[in-house]
């Protein structure tokens, strides 16, 4: 059975938690499900030192808290479902803190073939953009994303609104979970967009040809064999994506050669 991680990102045992439980119950008929409640985790605020980027995640001064363990759970899962309350048109601060703490994953993506789906719980307005934001983050981290849905009506005290909220949202939850199942069952590697190919090729060529890129990133790209790869993982690219990739590589190589010549001239 595939593993699915459900993250309840609410700061109270509220509507988000109720739906996380409901989602976990439904998912557990097909998957091994683990639920993490973010409010129970110790995630310290990022100090902004950038050591995870410049020296490696093992040098983070906060490395002993819960952030790394959550990333390990995410990488061990084949599917991830986030249930997120809308706080002031955005994700709760603690979830943003977790994303900040894992910012090095933007530099060293890893969740290839992992399916990610956000479900935003809210009162009335703003959840669509939250789902879009989370999907964008997880696409940068490598995941195959499912649009997810917004589950509204969480404005009343939970004891008054719970029945109405659940009745209103069960159908939407089921529909989203069916989309998640479909993506989990997909066997072909996900075709990247032109933008994703461009990001990969410009980053990997920078790692390959420029000396002054961040060392942990350079090493990560080298270890993964990405200096020679067409994309992060084997996948067929159409002619346009192949051509754009080739042109980006060539341009980056030329730019690095020029930069080295300029440095040499300045030093002599």
Ligand X SMILES: Cc1cc2nc3c(=O)[nH]c(=O)nc-3n(C[C@H](O)[C@H](O)[C@H](O)COP(=O)(O)O)c2cc1C
Q: 88 burial class (0-12, 13-18, 19+ CB within 10 angstroms)?
A: exposed
Shortest Cβ distance from residue 62 to ligand X (Å)?
Answer: 25
Q: Does residue number 85 form part of the binding site for ligand X (CB under 6 A)?
A: yes
Rounded Cα distance between 22 and 149, Å, is 15
Residue 118 in contact with ligand X, rule: CB under 6 A? no
Contact present, 192 and 130 (Cβ < 8 Å) = no
Considering the complex, state which of residue 85 and residue 142 has its C-beta at the smaller distance from ligand X: 85
* Least distance from ligand X to the Cβ atom of residue 128, Å: 11
Q: What are phi and psi of 61, to 5 degrees?
A: -65, -15
Question: DSSP labels for 87-100?
Answer: BTTB--HHHHHHHH
DSSP3 helix / strand / coil % (the chain, rounded to 5) = 55, 10, 35
Strands (E), the chain: 3-8, 32-37, 79-85, 115-121, 144-145, 149-151
Q: How far is the CB of 8 from ligand X (least distance, A)?
A: 8
Taking each continuous run of H as one helix and of E as one strand, the counts in the chain are 10, 6
- The helix/strand/coil state of 109 is coil
Residues 10-39 that bind ligand X (CB under 6 A): 10, 12, 14-17
Is residue 125 a contact residue for ligand X (CB under 6 A)?
yes
57 contributes a contact to ligand X by CB under 6 A: no
Shortest separation between residue 119's beta carbon and ligand X, angstroms: 11
Is there binding between residue 89 and ligand X (CB under 6 A)? yes
Question: Which residues in the 140-179 window bind ligand X by CB under 6 A?
Answer: 154-155
The residue among 9 and 230 lying less far from ligand X, judged by its C-beta, is 9
Q: Report, in Å, the least distance between residue 27 CB and ligand X.
A: 19
Instruction: State how beta strands 115-121 and 32-37 pair.
Output: unpaired
Q: Which stretch binds ligand X (CB under 6 A): 9-17, 47-55, 93-101, 213-221?
A: 9-17
Q: Which of 35, 57, 86, 131 binds ligand X (CB under 6 A)?
A: 86
* Residue 56 within binding range of ligand X, rule CB under 6 A: no
Contact region for ligand X (CB under 6 A) — 81-89, 106-114, 191-199, 243-251? 81-89
Q: Pick the closer one to ligand X by CB: 89 or 164.
A: 89
Shortest Cβ distance from residue 25 to ligand X (Å)?
A: 17
Q: Per rule CB under 6 A, is residue 254 in the interface with ligand X?
A: no
Nearest CA-CA partner of 181 in 146, 130, 131: 146
Residue 35 CB: number of other CB atoms within 10 A? 18
Query: What is the contact surface with ligand X in residues (CB under 6 A)?
Result: 10, 12, 14-17, 85-89, 121-126, 154-155
């Amino acid at each position: 059975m595939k593993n699915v991680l459900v993250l309840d990102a609410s700061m109270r045992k509220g509507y988000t938690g109720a739906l996380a439980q409901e989602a976990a119950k439904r998912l557990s008929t097909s998957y091994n499900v683990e639920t993490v409640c973010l409010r129970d985790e110790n995630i310290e605020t990022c100090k902004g030192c950038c050591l995870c980027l410049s020296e490696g995640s093992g040098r983070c001064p906060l490395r002993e808290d819960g952030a790394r363990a959550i990333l390990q759970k995410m990488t061990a899962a084949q599917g991830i479902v986030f249930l997120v309350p809308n706080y002031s048109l955005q994700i709760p601060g603690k979830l943003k803190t977790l994303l900040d703490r894992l910012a090095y994953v933007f530099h060293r993506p890893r969740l290839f073939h992992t399916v990610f789906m956000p479900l935003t719980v809210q009162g009335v307005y703003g959840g669509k953009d939250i789902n879009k934001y989370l999907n964008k983050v997880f696409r940068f981290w490598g995941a195959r994303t499912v649009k997810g849905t917004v589950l509204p009506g969480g404005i009343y005290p939970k004891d008054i609104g719970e029945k109405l909220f659940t009745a209103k949202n069960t159908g939407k939850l089921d529909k989203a979970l069916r989309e998640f199942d479909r993506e989990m069952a997909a066997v072909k590697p996900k075709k990247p967009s032109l933008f994703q190919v461009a990001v990969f090729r410009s980053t990997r060529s920078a790692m390959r040809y420029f000396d002054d890129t961040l060392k942990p990133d350079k090493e990560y790209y080298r270890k993964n064999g990405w200096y020679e790869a067409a994309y992060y993982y084997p996948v067929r690219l159409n002619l346009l994506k192949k051509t754009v990739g080739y042109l980006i590589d060539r341009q980056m190589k030329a730019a690095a050669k020029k930069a080295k010549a300029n440095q040499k001239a300045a030093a002599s």
